[in-house]
Chain A
Amino acid sequence: MSEISGFEPVIGLEVHAQLLTNSKIFCGCKVSYGQQPNSLTCPVCLGLPGALPVLNKRAVEFAMRMILATGGTVKNRSVFARKNYFYPDLPKGYQISQYDKPIGQGGKIKFKLENGQEKSCGLTRIHLEEDAGKSLHPEHGEPYTRVDLNRCGTPLIEIVSEPDIRSAEEAYGYLSKLKQILQYLEVCSGDMEKGHLRCDANVSVRPVGQKKFGTRTELKNMNSFKGVEKAINYEIKRQTKLIKSGGTVTQSTLLWDEKKQVAEEMRSKEESKDYRYFPEPDLVNLIVNDAWKEDVSKNLPELPDEKSTRLISDYHIRQYDALVLTDSRALADYYEKVMVDFGDGQAAANWIQTEFLGLLKESKVEIQESKVTPEMISALLAKVKSGELSGKMAKEVFGEMFASGKQAEDIIKDKGLVQLSDESALGTIIDNIISVNPDNLAKYRDGKTNLLGFFVGQVMKETKGQANPQVVNKLLKEKLEG
């Protein structure tokens, strides 16, 4: 029996996504990573006295994309608020965020579990805010912490889910889908390891059948999807065990320790912070009119679910293949470009998934960086289809193509790779082989038809693998059966 039997977890996720705008949310400083510390700063993002924020319209538009793509409502009027707390990497002593009047309300994320089961999780809100800087804590016995404010003022959206998630696996599925949508919309890189996407989880458990939520804890500091899954599982077990042994869960914030694989208490509710939110007087209300909304909505790209449905109907591929191909917008676009000059959707899907993705993964190359263009793949696949190349030869050609970026045509010429499909030429070769193997011919005719493979092998050997297998099979069968 499972450790958590009899209990149902209730999980809500808060995701922060850094927006891919060129400049920061309230000043003109560039958003860029890995630069000299404090080099991408100005009086505004340094929070110097007298400096004032001016809202970046592009950040608003990115937030609107996500809200509209998830079926939420973009509010006509939203309000920025100051969230007050002291920390050295928060130079103003407050973060400009949104509080009781966020830009986005409602919406949902639909996602699939490994077993194919469909789930849906509601969204409470999506709001805009600025990121803080980074504190670089002492490493080599330095007696001080360094502060880098380059990240300060990077635009973020916070996506707050309803407590609709019921397992760590579901949380994983939700996050994967969320990331996929953000990437499709080109508003966030989705890279959790680099902190471009961050996730906190609110977790509670309750006896199965109980309506009321249990006391929740907040998990922070997970830096991968797997980390989120593990931390949630850890916390579900901890809470269940505690309740089963007669204890009670206390409201608190826990930090996930990836090395130790445990979540440790950071602060309890009694110590919980009072952020003293109030409307940001330096910014006017954010007004979004219907024309702007319509414009953003009109320019939304096709989203993964729609795309997958369309690929199935346009190219007659299996659902599973459509799911794989729509994993990223780049891959789906690539597939569709291959299909511009090629008619067999399933063959192209198979080739891309097994051959192309395999080599990309092996060589750690991103699809956009590959030397192989979609046109090169369609030309190659056309040669297989026409019988000019065998599947085996095509793989050899593709390996070379992937490494060098040469066209299939040139590689075939260089290697002298031409498939023998000519029936009279192959017929002569087959006649010779049969004539030098009278024993096997006799056995075949006695019923040992699996000797066909032996004869095919001989033909391939004789032709250095260039014989068209279909033609060889056909001719051999005719001749062996006499």
Chain B
Amino acid sequence: MSEYKKLSASEISAKVKSRELKAVDIAREAIELAKTDGKKLNAFITICEEKALAQAEAIDKKLENGDAQGDLLGVPVALKDNIIYQDYETTCGSHILDKFKPPYDSTCAKNLINAGAVIIGKTNLDEFAMGSSNENSYYGPVKNPINHKLVPGGSSGGSTAVVAEKIVPIAFGSETGGSVRQPASFCGVLGLKPTYGAISRYGLVAFGSSLDQISPLARNSEDIALAYKVASGRDQMDSTSVAFEHPDYLKELNSSRKFKIGIPKEYFVDGLSDEIEKSVRDVIIFLEKNGHSFTQISLPMTDKAIAVYYIISSAEASANLARFDGVKYGLREGKDKDLLGMYGDTRSAGFGDEVKRRIMLGTYVLSSGYYDAYYIKASKVRELMVRDFEKVFESVDLIISPTTPTTAFKIGEKIDDPLAMYLSDIFTAPANLSGIPAVSLPLGKSSDNLPIGVQFMAPHFSELSLFQISKQLESHNN
């Protein structure tokens, strides 16, 4: 294995800064891996070679002149292909965005570049981030690096696979209901869903706007904290982004702080694999031995989460995806037809089945006569879930749970059973619905050698607690 693959983001950044390594050499190596290992996994849709090399060269040049700053100097990163990076196509894994090159940058990409990161590619995903297996991509499924017959999870399957395969130390996905934590647990890496409003959504192609959040993936606590720090912050371009103070993550990371942790009884139910349950219970025992305290808690609205999530995210998606109509950019079919014919042909040909399913569901729940029964009711339940969490966090610092009910499943196994697929999000969606941060951490492997994830949830803007518990577990694993 090459030296590069063993390095964390913070190590690369330090070595580039000290000029022990050249950013351009690192970038070349990462791009080479993307073209080889990445291709085997079908993880990339676009490789941003030209800009990446130019950026890396610029960093080296700046270092020669002694004026390069940033937390991720020369660190290769990948972006899920629903996060806009100027000059390169943004496909969202959909046929309907064919050849769409946005004339602007996402705030996330800008923040990364300002920190010295080198964006090497745009990763494969479930179309418009709708899916839990990365099988819903116009560009084909992504494979799980552990076992190519398995799904990597989704929708951020590409970004997760390239971190697990060590093509990049950090990648960014997006979450609406678990799209980073679920694949992180399937591939054995760390996935953080930040507090809603922490990372600007400007330039993230919307799925469910009130839930969407750009979310980093990494292989260790330090890197995930760095990724979060660099990407987040109040942005004038996103009205829902929030101003907040960053602690000194790297300094605070090694704190031996003891947490009060809640165990929600609703998260240990039928359908949860015995092995996963046992792993989580083992972690609890270990942490208890190390001085953390645990209490049973209740989050009574948990069993409504999937229904509420699908109603709200689909309602918002049905409006968010209305702009893809063949008029301004992307695919246009039915060119000889009238307006309605062109709309119909374009959207029929441009969207995949899952996307169509969600648009129809969303349109239905917003329709006159159904709006109150579905959308309004779901919004009310969502409010109750927010209050459930608020109440629980009055007495605990963190909540522990499994990330997913099962380990990675086979490609094709659930593709014809959308409901079974939707249940993959059962433990993750509540954090999106209530806006709180949550992380999935790798816990080791099942008997069939598949990664298992444990989830921690925290109050709004308590990401530091998540990084600290992650670091403590990591020290134990090592």
* Chain A complexes with chain B: yes
A49 contacts B240, CB within 8 Å?
no
Which of B204, B316, B371 sits near A50, CB closer than 8 Å? B204
In the complex, which residues of chain B have a beta carbon less than 8 angstroms from the beta carbon of A49?
84, 90, 92, 97, 100, 102, 205-206, 323-324
Chain A residue nearest to B363 in the complex (CB): A276
Closest chain-A Cβ to B244's Cβ sits at a distance in Å of: 16
Q: Does B420 contact A (CB under 8 A)?
A: no
Select A84's contact among B100, B104, B205, B322, beta carbons within 8 Å. B322
Known contacts A54-B239, A276-B367; is A281 also within 8 Å of B316 by CB? Answer: yes
CB proximity of B109 to chain A, nearest CB, Å: 10
Stretch at the interface among A87-95, A118-126, A401-409, A436-444: A87-95
Q: How large is the interface on B (under 10, 10 to 19, 20 to 34, 35 or more residues)?
A: 35 or more
- CB-CB under 8 A for A276 and B366, given A53-B239, A283-B239: yes
A residues near B316, Cβ cutoff 8 Å: 278, 281
| Residue pair B363, A50 in contact (C-beta under 8 Å) | no
- In the complex, the chain A residue whose C-beta lies closest to that of B366 is A276
Mark contacts of B99-115 with chain A using CB atoms, 8 A cut-off: 1 yes-contact digit, 0 otherwise: 01011101000000000
Cα distance A27–B288 when bound, in Å?
Answer: 52
Q: Tell me the nearest residue of chain A to B240, going by C-beta.
A: A284
Task: Decide if B478 is an interface residue (CB 8 Å cutoff).
Answer: no
Q: Which of B229-245 contact A (CB under 8 A)?
A: 236-240
User: Which one of A40-48, A263-271, A293-301, A464-472 is at the interface?
Assistant: A40-48
Task: Categorize the interface residue count of chain A.
Answer: 20 to 34
A92 CA / B202 CA spacing, docked (Å): 15
Q: How far is the CA of A82 from the CA of B240 in the complex (A)?
A: 16
Query: How many Å lie between the Cα of A49 and that of B102 in the bound state?
Result: 8
In the bound complex, CA of A48 to CA of B328 (Å): 9
Given contacts A91-B323, A94-B319, A284-B240, contact A50 B202 (CB under 8 A): yes
Is B209 a contact partner of A282 (Cβ separation < 8 A)?
A: yes
A226-245, CB < 8 A from B? none
Q: Which parts of A300-355 form the interface with B (CB within 8 Å)? A: none
Interface contact B202-A52, CB-CB below 8 Å: yes
A461 to chain B minimum Cβ distance, whole angstroms, is: 78
By the criterion CB–CB under 8 Å, are B238 and A52 in contact?
Answer: yes
Q: Does B203 contact A (CB under 8 A)?
A: yes
Interfacial residues of chain A within 93-111, with CB under 8 A of chain B in the complex: 93-94
- Indicate if B4 sits at the interface (CB-CB under 8 A): no
* Interface hits, A16-62 → B, CB 8 Å: 43, 46-55
- Assess whether B237 is in contact with A52, with CB atoms less than 8 Å apart: yes
Chain B residues near A92 (CB-CB < 8 A): 319, 322-323
Instruction: Give the complex CA separation of A426 and B387 in angstroms.
Output: 98
Residues of B194-211 contacting chain A, CB below 8 A = 201-206, 208-210
B349 within 8 A of A: no
Query: C-beta contact mask, B295-331 vs A, less than 8 Å → 1, else 0?
Result: 0000000000000000000011011011111011100
- B97's closest neighbor in chain A, by CB? A49
Q: Beyond the given A88-B325, A94-B322, could you list 10 further A-B residue pairs with CB under 8 A, ordered by the A residue number?
A: A46-B328, A47-B323, A50-B84, A50-B102, A51-B104, A52-B239, A52-B240, A88-B339, A93-B323, A284-B240
Chain B positions within 8 Å of A, measured between CB atoms, are 83-84, 90, 92, 97, 100, 102-104, 106, 201-206, 208-210, 236-240, 315-316, 318-319, 321-325, 327-329, 339, 343, 363, 366-368, 371, 375
14 contacts between A and B (CB under 8 A): A43-B103, A43-B104, A47-B328, A50-B84, A50-B202, A51-B203, A52-B202, A52-B238, A55-B239, A86-B325, A94-B319, A276-B367, A276-B368, A278-B319
Taking beta carbons and an 8 Å cutoff, which residues of A are in contact with B? 43, 46-55, 82, 84, 86, 88, 91-94, 147, 274, 276-278, 281-284
